Amino acid sequence: MRGRRIDVASLLLRTAMLLAVVITFAGLLFLVAHIMSHGLRYLKPGLFNWTYDSDNLSMMPAIINTLEMVVLSLLLAGPVGVGAAVYLNEYAKPGNRLVPIVRLTAETLSGIPSIVYGLFGALFFVKGLGWRLSMASGVGTLAIMILPLIMRTTEEALKSVPDDYRQGSYGLGAGKLRTVFSIVLPAAMPGVMAGIILAIGRIVGESAALIFTAGTVAQAGAGLGSPARTLAVHLYVLSNEGLHINETYATAVVLLIVVLLINALSDAIGRMLMRRSSHG
């Protein structure tokens, strides 16, 4: 009787898991098909002009601003997040009271809606520091937003590295610093890169926080002190106006392609680093 109950429970769990996979895949397929079918036909050369105006509605300035946001935000949050994770997992002593506080803070920050980050950025960077609506305000807000994600994923990647690696390095005479940066971090690099790629995906798709910090001006290369819109904000502005639905779908196609390319890049980098670490 007990074995039969276990079999029934296992069957129910398999069915639920299969159903969840089918629903998830079907939802993704429907979303991609809907956007592609409505937006591909409206892609035209004018949408990729270097300058934006009310006639061409070019998304090229938004694409450039998005790439700048990604690079600058990662330059701020990447070293801090990875460094914090290395300290928490490799250097903090057992029983350190600071460690659970930092982890609780990171988990709390991960669950805060992006609109709250936008309000914080508007009060702190835009008003408090006097940066106004600018690229710098948007970068600062995004860096704070993705910092917990990079830190938590890096810490989990470091935890997955076997202790035998550390003990073997110590046995060969290597110090703590050399062990961490020559042995542990390279072995954990696939997980670290996965967290960074997830952070990039969040930056690319963010709009709520940037509307209140970076603004919605469609210009590129104006500097950190000038307002600028990213591709997600560009999509929001066009859809909110309600006058350029076709261009909105075309922008959604480009944004979707960017996200898919990021996911493909993360998978390729993860596989490459895994092969290198296994051969090493």
Q: What is the pLDDT of residues 200-228, one digit of tens each?
A: 888 988 888 999 999 888 887 677 888 88
Low-confidence ranges of the chain (pLDDT < 70): 1-6, 221, 266-267, 270, 273-280
User: What does R_g of the chain's alpha carbons equal in angstroms?
Assistant: 23
pTM above 0.85, yes or no: no
Separation in Å, CA 38 to CA 9, 74, 110, 245, 273? 43, 33, 34, 10, 38
| N-terminal to C-terminal alpha carbon distance within the chain | 51
pLDDT at 119: 92
pLDDT at 183: 83
pLDDT at 255: 86
pLDDT at 124: 94
pLDDT at 273: 65
Separation in Å, CA 10 to CA 5, 14, 24, 268? 9, 6, 21, 34
pLDDT at 4: 59
pLDDT at 151: 92
Separation in Å, CA 177 to CA 79, 90, 162, 277? 16, 10, 17, 19
pLDDT at 28: 85
pLDDT at 121: 93
